[in-house]
């Protein structure tokens, strides 16, 4: 099936099932902009949410402004609890993620996963731009993932990189400025770099870690083993300090 038609069918099915209890969760990479276009073309009233971790690159703010102007929407920014951020930084430093995987997971938990849980409160389902071709860890993404409290809908799951670029060009969609610098996956500024030929699309995420590390932040996948157990301990320590503040 044509990838655009398939994506539109998934969007339509989600809108039919969940109605107004839907949102687009976007980091404003190419996939997310294409997804936003697909959704808002059909249902202009759907909310558009983004995680503002406090460490996003300036170019992300610029494309948010472009999206707001193009679709006449106000992007809702989900921000982390500042007491939790301050407690984490006080205990482990601003750039704790460079030290080890558990610290990186802790930072993602404080700045992304915990705020997102609160930001999605009252929402039955949300759209994401996840694609199976992005990395091995995403190979089994479902279009409708019903494994959590909110249903995660990924209409672009079957799209290739070429599909995304083609749709972006045909629709004349705005693009994040970092793509011209060789980025293929864009997240927090200190945790993302451009890739080199032969690397997979998410190789620029947490590039200082070993190749076998799971290059996910916890929003879409739960890590296993020692790193997860360690990050649970670190999180409890941070939350204890934050609650005393």
Could you list the active site residues?
A: 217
Of 109, 104, 57, 105, whose CA–CA distance to 85 is shortest?
Answer: 109
Which tokens go with 227?
A: 């790193």
> Given the structure tokens 């204890």, which residue do they identify?
240
Q: CB neighbours of 37 closer than 8 A, spacing ≥ 6?
A: 167, 171, 173
Cα–Cα dist 211/234, whole Å = 24
From the list 242, 18, 236, 24, the residue with the least C-alpha distance to 130 is 24
How far is Cα 208 from Cα 172, in angstroms, rounded to an integer?
35
Residue 25, SS3? strand
CA gyration radius for the chain? 18
**d(C-alpha 165, C-alpha 142), whole Å:** 22
Q: Are 60 and 38 in contact (CB under 8 A)?
A: no
């Amino acid at each position: 099936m044509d990838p655009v038609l398939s994506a539109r069918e998934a969007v339509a099915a989600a809108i039919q099932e969940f109605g107004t209890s839907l949102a687009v969760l976007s980091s404003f990479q190419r996939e997310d902009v294409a997804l936003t276009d697909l959704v808002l073309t059909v249902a202009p009233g759907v909310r558009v949410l983004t995680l503002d971790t406090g460490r996003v690159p300036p170019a992300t703010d610029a494309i948010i402004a472009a999206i707001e102007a193009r679709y006449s929407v106000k992007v809702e920014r989900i921000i982390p609890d500042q007491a939790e951020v301050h407690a984490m930084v006080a205990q482990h430093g601003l750039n704790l993620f460079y030290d080890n995987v558990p610290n990186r997971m802790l930072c993602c938990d404080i700045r992304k996963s915990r705020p997102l849980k609160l930001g999605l409160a009252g929402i039955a389902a949300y759209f994401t731009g996840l694609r199976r071709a992005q990395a091995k860890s995403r190979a089994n993404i479902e279009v409708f993932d019903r494994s959590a409290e909110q249903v995660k809908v990924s209409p672009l799951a079957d799209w290739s990189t070429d599909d995304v670029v083609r749709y972006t060009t045909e629709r004349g969609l705005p693009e994040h400025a970092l793509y011209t610098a060789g980025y293929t996956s864009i997240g927090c500024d200190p945790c993302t770099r451009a890739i080199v030929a032969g690397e997979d699309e998410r190789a620029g995420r947490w590039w200082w870690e070993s190749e076998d590390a799971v290059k996910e932040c916890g929003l879409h996948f739960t890590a296993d083993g020692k790193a997860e157990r360690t990050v649970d301990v670190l999180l409890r320590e941070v939350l204890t300090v934050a609650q005393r503040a």
